Amino acid sequence: MAGAGPGLLHGPSYRLALRRLVRSRKFLFAALVSLLPVVFGVLMLVDTAQGMESQRLYGGGIREGTYDTYLAFDAAMMLLGGTVPLVALLLAGGMLADDVEDRTLSYLLVRPVRRATQYRSRLAAVVTATGLLALAQAVAFAVFVVIHWAVWFRGAEYLVEYQYVAQNEYVLTTTPSGPVAAGLVLAVLAAAPLVAAGLAALFGLVSLVTTRFHFLANLLLYGFWELPFGVIVPSAAPGILTVSYGATSLVSRALPEEGLEPTTLPVAVAVMMLLFWVVAWGTVGAQVMRRKDFTVTSANS
């Protein structure tokens, strides 16, 4: 039933969906997953403290005046490529499947609100909850990066690389670590909620198409498309078609010499790409919702 409701979002539907989501068990699981960056941060600080104690006792290792960001970089990629997508999967994966299981879908379809508006309103609620949890993860990450840089390394220089000059001759190239640490923090703070919103829109669409096997379908989609081409090998041609590519671009810009191959996207373009996927997948999902033929038997599936 098309209905004659408002065009973009329906406030009561949005608030009802958000309240119902926040009170659900899957939100509790997602909140627990969001605590993992805190665990990563504690382990990062403990590992750094142990490493510096070993240097004090035995000498060698990282010299004073250098800042090692490998741990911070790995934690950033675990957050953007692991915990944030998992939160999006938990909250968006069963966006309509919950109504199917609770047999409340028929009630939603007969309300005087357009199907597309209903879908966008529910998606907006999921994006709100997912984005807030992702932002909380990014803030926790930022706190530990600042502690890691300011307390243990006290604003030292960041070791970039040894550049080969001639046989057995290398030049140590360094850059101020403050801008590097700040760039990494800003990249994660910007990327985490955006990639969460984009993946939530994508997982919501897949759940709408594959109601019964939504979790498996989304897991396969992320494991065989988003993760390989958006995070692990972002330089591959299909990478630009993934949501994760924008987040990887931001982190690569912050740490151009670390880990992943640098991408060529400017920061503004990467942010616009992440916003584009949120709008694109949300729009496609709304159109699928408007045209999908829901039957009475679907409530038992």
Which residue type occupies 19? R
- Contact residues for 49 (Cβ-Cβ < 8 A; gap 6+): 152
Is residue 62 predicted with pLDDT exceeding 70?
Answer: no
Higher pLDDT, 222 or 144: 222
pLDDT, tens digit, 9 for 90 and up, residues 228-270: 888 888 877 888 889 988 888 888 877 755 445 556 678 888 8
DSSP lists the bridge partners of residue 158 as 67, 175
pLDDT for res 191? 92
Is residue 216 predicted with pLDDT exceeding 50?
Answer: yes
Contacts of the segment 212-215: beta carbons below 8 A, 24+ positions apart: 212/97, 212/301, 214/93, 214/94, 214/97, 215/89, 215/93, 215/94
Higher pLDDT, 229 or 46: 229
Q: What is the DSSP string of 171-207?
A: EEEEEEHHHHHHHHHHHHHHHHHHHHHHHHHHHHHHH
- Model confidence at 63, pLDDT cuts 50, 70, 90, reads very low
pLDDT, tens digit, 9 for 90 and up, residues 274-295: 999 999 999 998 888 877 766 5
Q: Where are the domains of the chain?
A: 11-294
Q: What is the pLDDT averaged over residues 161-189?
A: 65
Is residue 296 predicted with pLDDT exceeding 50?
Answer: no
Across the chain, mean pLDDT equals 75
pLDDT for res 129? 93
Is residue 121 predicted with pLDDT exceeding 80?
Answer: yes
